Amino acid sequence: GESVGLHLPTLSVQEGDNSIINCAYSNSASDYFIWYKQESGKGPQFIIDIRSNMDKRQGQRVTVLLNKTVKHLSLQIAATQPGDSAVYFCAENKGNNDMRFGAGTRLTVKP
Amino acid sequence: DTEVTQTPKHLVMGMTNKKSLKCEQHMGHRAMYWYKQKAKKPPELMFVYSYEKLSINESVPSRFSPECPNSSLLNLHLHALQPEDSALYLCASSHRAGGSNEQFFGPGTRLTVL
C-alpha cells in the first residue's frame, strides 16, 4: 500500500553544521505534511508543517521543502545543536485526522 | 494549559488483568487519538475520536477498547492483552476534526505485558 518512508535511518552531523533529513512519500493524494521530533522518553513534538500548495516553508532554524513531482519531503536544520539530537519523523495527513508516520531518522549531533 | 497528560507513565500487567490508560487535555481540542509505538518504530494510529465520536478504528483487536467520556478525556481499556502488546501508548489531540492541523502528543504510557 501507499506509505510514507525515509531514505536514511541514521544521520550524524557535527555541531554547527546544517542537517538535512529526507522523506519519500507515495500517496499523491495527501495534501498536508508534518515533521515531528521525538526525544528519548517523550512523545513526538511538532516542528513544522507544509501544505501541498507550497514548496517551501521556513521556521526558526528549520526549513521544510516539498517536491511533489518526485514525492519528496525534506527537513533542513541550520546550525545543528546537541539539543537537536532526536528521532525525526515525517508524517502525512490523509484527511479526517488520519495521520501516518514515516519510519524515522535518528539524528546524532557530535560536539 | 497547552499539554496533553497521560497516566500512568508506566504500567506492568499480566495477561489476565484489566487496566485502563487515561489521557486528558484542556486546550479545547475536539479530536483525540491513540497511537501505539514499538521500540525504534514510528507511532501507529489506533483510534481517532472526533467530537467524542469514534471516527477511525484501525482494525485494532477487541482487547483494546477506547472510550471518550467527554471532550477533554480519552481512555483506553485493556483486557486480556498479549506480551506483543507491550509498547509505548501515545495520546494526542488536535484543534478540530478534519483538515490539516497540528497534533499535540502526550508523553505516553509505557506498557509491559507479562
Report CB contact under 8 Å: A46, B102. Answer: yes
pLDDT of residue B2: 67
Q: With contacts defined as CB-CB under 8 Å, which chain B residues touch A36?
A: 105
pLDDT tens-digit map of A43-97: 999 999 999 999 999 999 999 999 999 999 999 999 999 999 999 999 998 777 7
B97 and chain A in contact, CB less than 8 A: yes
Which among B53, B96, B100 is the top mutation candidate for probing chain A, defined by the most A β-carbons within 10 Å of its own β-carbon? B100
Question: Residues with Cβ < 8 Å from A18, sequence gap 6 or more?
Answer: A76, A77, A78, A79, A80
The number of CA neighbours under 13 Å toward the Cβ of B52 is 7
Mean pLDDT within B56-64? 90
Mean pLDDT for all residues in chain A? 89
| Residues of chain B contacting A21 with CB distance shorter than 8 Å | none
Query: How far A80 CA lies from chain B's nearest CA (Å)?
Result: 22
What does the pLDDT read at residue A99? 82
Whether A72 has its CB under 8 Å from any CB of chain B: the answer is no
Percent of chain A at pLDDT exceeding 90: 72
Please tell me the distance from the alpha carbon of residue A54 to that of residue B104, in angstroms, as a whole number: 23
**pLDDT of the residue at A6:** 46
pLDDT over 80 at A4, yes or no: no
Nearest CA distance, B87 vs chain A (angstrom): 12
- Buried b / exposed e along B28-65 (16+ C-beta atoms within 10 A): ebbbbbbbbbeeeebbbbbbbbbebeebbeeebeeebe
